[in-house]
Amino acid sequence: MIKILVCDDEIFARDAMARIIKRKGFDVVVASNGEECIELFKKENPEVVFLDVMLPDLDGDHIHRYLKELKKDVNVYYITGSATVFTKENAEKEGAKGYLQKPVDMDILFETLDSIKKDFGEQN
């Protein structure tokens, strides 16, 4: 089963995403800040991370780079409340697999999760 780590400091957004991800057949763990994200990443070894880029303690880009040092093939998707051209370009520059704009559109989340399953050779 594909494991996904959701890191977002907004409890409602984080928990809603986690419930949907779990219903779509993934194993899911959640973190509320950057430090917790890093610790859970080391402990849980997820294949995919949904990472809020604006966390209260650490910068999302720095977390992303660190996670990639720990596990080169991890797929990181940015979550952002300010989806600008800069955000998209920065996500691409950092090697993010993609990004979701807050509030997260459920249809886009479903498409992303289906794409993740396909990437890992699992059926929908």
110: CATH: 3.40.50.2300
**43 assigned to some structural domain:** yes
Q: Which domain holds residue 60?
A: 3-119
What total number of domains does the chain contain? 1
**83 assigned to some structural domain:** yes
**69 assigned to some structural domain:** yes
**38 assigned to some structural domain:** yes
Convert the pLDDT of each residue in 22-50 to its tens digit: 999 999 999 999 999 999 999 999 999 99
**124 assigned to some structural domain:** no
Q: Which residues fall within 8 angstroms of residue 7, CB to CB, at 6 or more apart?
A: 14, 30, 31, 32, 33, 34, 36, 37, 49, 50, 51, 52, 55, 63
Q: Which residues fall within 8 angstroms of residue 72, CB to CB, at 6 or more apart?
A: none
**72 assigned to some structural domain:** yes
Q: What is this structure's pTM?
A: 0.93
Counting residues of the chain whose pLDDT is more than 90, the rounded percentage is: 74
Average pLDDT score over the chain: 91
Burial of 85 (0-12, 13-18, 19+ CB in 10 A): exposed
**9 assigned to some structural domain:** yes
Cβ distance 85 to 17 under 8 Å?
Answer: no
**97 assigned to some structural domain:** yes
State the pLDDT at residue 99: 86
Tokens representing 48 are 């995919």
